Amino acid sequence: MAIGTLAPPLNVPAGAAHADDRSRSWRKFARNPAAIVGALILAVVVGAAIFAPWIAPHEPARQSLIRRFTPPVWAAAGKSAHVLGTDQVGRDILSRIIHGARISLIVGIAAVVVSLTVGVTLGLLSGFLHGRVDTVIMTVVDVWLSFPQLLLALAFVAALGPSLITIIVVLGLTGWERYTRVVRAEVLALREKDFVEAARAMGASTVRIVLRHLLPNTFSSIIVMSTLQVAQAILQEAALSFLGVGTGSAYPTWGQMIALGRDFVSVAWWLPTFPGLAILLTVLAINLVGDRLRDALDPRIG
């Protein structure tokens, strides 16, 4: 009978969250007002990005020389047609911010997917195969950690020629090493555990052990890390745009709006201020959600 009691847990992916655990995590998450506020802000930003062409009050590229430097609506000279005012060529700032949400979110999410794929694969290899493979991969991680990431991204985006794809790939490839380090550490700790031994004894292949038994155990760290990395990737994309190696197209991005607005800060404060607030709110929302996810998914925190 001993075998009978041992066998069932092996059929479920070992260590994967049970339904009970999941609802407990969800309750822990939902109890936190800051996380709820974060999730709501995020919903607004995602909605703005998806429905941008329909909800933006104006064409983001339409210029109007007679309307340039219109201040926001609550200022004395403000116009209700331009709630957040217009820029130096009369384009509506609110509309540009709404459209800019698209670039920020696309880059943020896609860059993280690239980082995840590379980082988790290398982490699994490094942790499970250890030995020489591990040494090589960890040396690459050390090299990566030696560069100011933003500088590296800046140099490579410029060298490859700025485009949306370049930015995504370069930001993705500058940020993978955190996943490798964490996944490797977790796999190293897990591989000696009994359930791995048991799976091996039952004849599971290495690939199966890694994918079915080890990988699911790293999910909660990966979810938290990737959420927080989306926030960072959005900040990095904005910094690249600000420094002049953006997407290479005329489509508005928040970083580029701040860069253009900087020159007019003394005559039209709203130009750099509002796109920056958009970045701040979006990143803050993601950070709040990510931080709360960390607490909710970590069984060690009560």
Span between the terminal Cα atoms of the chain, in Å = 35
Smallest gap from residue 31 Cβ to other proteins (A) = 16
Smallest gap from residue 177 Cβ to other proteins (A) = 12
Angle at Cα 171 formed by Cα 167 and Cα 174, nearest 5°? 145
Nearest CB to other proteins, comparing residues 160 and 188:
160
Nearest CB to other proteins, comparing residues 12 and 136:
136
What is the C-alpha separation between 165 and 157, in angstroms, rounded?
Answer: 10
Smallest gap from residue 117 Cβ to other proteins (A) = 20
Nearest CB to other proteins, comparing residues 26 and 147:
147
Smallest gap from residue 67 Cβ to other proteins (A) = 23
Dihedral of alpha carbons 257, 258, 259, 260, sign: positive
Smallest gap from residue 82 Cβ to other proteins (A) = 20
Phi, psi for 92 (deg, rounded to 5): -75, 120
List of residues contacting other proteins (CB under 8 A) = 139-140, 142-143, 145-152, 154-156, 158-160, 231, 235, 238-239, 242-245, 255, 258, 261-262, 265-266, 269, 272-273, 276, 279-280, 283-284, 287-288, 291
Nearest CB to other proteins, comparing residues 168 and 214:
168
3-state SS of 111-170 is: HHHHHHHHHHHHHHHHHHHCHHHHHHHHHHHHHHHCCCHHHHHHHHHHHHCCCHHHHHHH
Nearest CB to other proteins, comparing residues 104 and 217:
104
